[in-house]
Amino acid sequence: MNRFLICLFTVSLLSAEEEAEILVSIESETEVINVAPGDSIVALQNRFVVEGSVKLEGAPISFDLAGIEGTLKLHDPLQESLWLTVTYDYLKGDFPAFVASSASTLPTLETGAKASERKAVDRKQAGGAPKLPVV
């Protein structure tokens, strides 16, 4: 997914040179966050966080970054409350908030009683039971 964001950023910059309008930019942010005991996910204010840019001050904490969602997933939940200063870079631009699945445009499959009833009606109209091959 990281490669996708880098490609998206590169393509945006290349097309921006032609149009003289930058669609995507990299911004920096510093947040002071209170992490409560038992928390395992820390949500940042921005989405599309650039991997490798996150720096934590306040305590040595191991985490995984979910850059698209803008969250830090802590490996071990904290035992006591802690204030963290989080500094990171993120992509700023006109990204869609939600992308619908292409499956929603497909026709629905016939299942259950309706499908079997329709097949039975089709067989009656075709002249009875389906013809089997002679062996």
Return the pLDDT at 58. 83
- Give the domain range for residue 34: 25-93
Mean pLDDT (whole number) for 46-69? 89
pLDDT in tens, 60-88: 888 999 888 889 999 988 888 989 999 99
Band (16; pLDDT cuts 50, 70, 90): very low
Has this prediction a pTM greater than 0.85? Answer: no
- Domain-located, residue 83: yes
- Domain-located, residue 37: yes
- Domain-located, residue 55: yes
- Domain-located, residue 44: yes
Query: Would you list the DSSP string of the chain?
Result: -HHHHHHHHHHHHHHHHHHT--SEEEEEEEEEEEEPTT--EEE-S-SSBPTT--EEESS---EEEETTTTEEEESS--SS-EEEEEEEEEEEE---S----GGGGSPPPP-THHHHHHHHHHHHHHTSSPPPPP-
pLDDT in tens, 77-117: 888 898 999 999 998 887 666 666 666 666 766 555 555 56
